[in-house]
Amino acid sequence: METIKPGKYVELGYDLYEVTPDGDKLVHQTSADDPEKIVFGVTPGVIVPLEHAIDGLKPGDSFDVKVSADEAFGPHDPEQVATLPRDIFEVDGKFDPEVIKKGAVLPMMTQDGFRINGVVVDVTDTDVVMDFNHPLAGKDVRFKGKITVVRDATPEELKPQSGCGCGEGCGCGDSCDCSGESKCSEGCGCN
């Protein structure tokens, strides 16, 4: 049976929890039909403690690893919170308070043309405050899961990926697009 080591293609299913004083809170699950897929030691953005936890495991082996905020999605960066003029959210001269409201996740474009997601933190008569940090920035997390597949990676799979390198999924049900991560080096350990 194959074991995980650099250059191996790996499929893993896991539950991702936010670690809180009141206990672990489930924030993301992979399904058996759509497991996370990585090439061990090649896929960019894999969280280092998760990578260490699965090193040497075989299909059927379980893992459970707690990761500090700094090693997971990084600290919450106040510079990633922006106050934007309310009028940039108008469509045909109208502001829609049903769409632009506290807690809403909105796709935005950077000055460089990259799509990022931000969370509306506050809406005033003149401004919209948005947080572009990863949703789990500043939070300790726990990955609990099972290895389902380990095999030799194909030559195509061994090629480094292009793109932002943040890993698809990003651990919060988000479809990546860097989740507003300015450095695009985080990720959840997923591909």
- pLDDT tens-digit map of 89-107: 999 999 998 999 999 999 9
Residue 69 domain flag: yes
Q: Which two tokens stand for residue 17?
A: 């929890």
* Separation CA 82–CA 116 (nearest Å): 13
The pTM of this model reads 0.71
**Tally of domains in the chain:** 2
Domain assignment present for 171? no
141 and 68 within one domain: yes
- The per-residue pLDDT for range 74-92, each reduced to its tens digit, is 999 999 999 999 999 999 9
Strands 127-131, 81-85: pairing is antiparallel
Q: Is the residue at 156 inside a domain?
A: yes
Domain with 93 in it:
78-131
Asked if residue 65 and residue 150 are part of one domain, the reply reads yes
pLDDT at 162 over 90: no
pLDDT at 33: 82
Pair (61, 27) in one structural domain? yes
Residues 13, 36, single domain; the answer is yes
Question: In this predicted structure, what is the pLDDT of residue 65?
Answer: 97
Q: Are residues 120 and 88 in the same domain?
A: yes
